[in-house]
Amino acid sequence: MAGSLALALVLGLAGLSFVMRAIGPFLPNIPAAIMQRTTGLAPALLAALVAIQLTGPNGLLHLDVKVPAVILAALLSALRLPLIVCVVAGALLAALLRAVFHL
């Protein structure tokens, strides 16, 4: 990615993040009904991100070594292991399967 585009991306995301973190300390009285709605965002978005990562360039599901990596990450996460352990284990499993089976 070109430097100027990367800079625009960083500043855009930084601006959004700053405003989101600043809203509460600035205006502590946002109606609970609005806050309630935002609780659905994170699970929907994260599940969509997982799904998108499992699709190929044509947008269709492309099942490869990432699938067992995701299953292992979910399993370790269910065992309440730290986030970084789940991620590293998933990546290592994918690398191992690729090296052994040339997937």
Partner 1 sequence: MPATRSVREILLTAAPLGLAVFVFGVSFGVLAIAARFPGWAAVLMSALVFAGSAQFAALGVITAGGSAVTAVLAGGLLNLRYIATGIAVARSLPGGPLVRALLGQLVVDESYAMAAGAGEPGRPDRRTLLVTGASLYTVWVLGTLIGTLLGPVLGNPTRLGLDAAFPALFTALLWPMLSGRHAVRCAIGGALVALVLAPFTPPGVPLAGAALLGLWLAR
Q: Does 41 bind partner 1 (CB under 8 A)?
A: yes
Residue 100 touches partner 1, criterion: CB under 8 A: no
Task: Return the DSSP state at 82.
Answer: -
Residue 13 interacting with partner 1 (CB under 8 A): yes
Q: How far apart are CA 73 and CA 46, in angstroms?
A: 14
Site for partner 1 in 44-73 (CB under 8 A): 44-55, 57-61, 65-66, 69-70, 72-73
* CB of 89 closer than 8 Å to CB of 70: no
Cβ-based neighbours of 86, under 8 Å, separated by 6 or more: 72, 73, 76, 77
Kindly determine how many residues on this chain lie close enough to bind partner 1 according to the rule CB under 8 A: 76
Task: Kindly state the smallest distance separating residue 79's Cβ from partner 1, in Å.
Answer: 10
Choosing from 42, 100, 101, 102, the residue that interacts with partner 1 (CB under 8 A) is 42
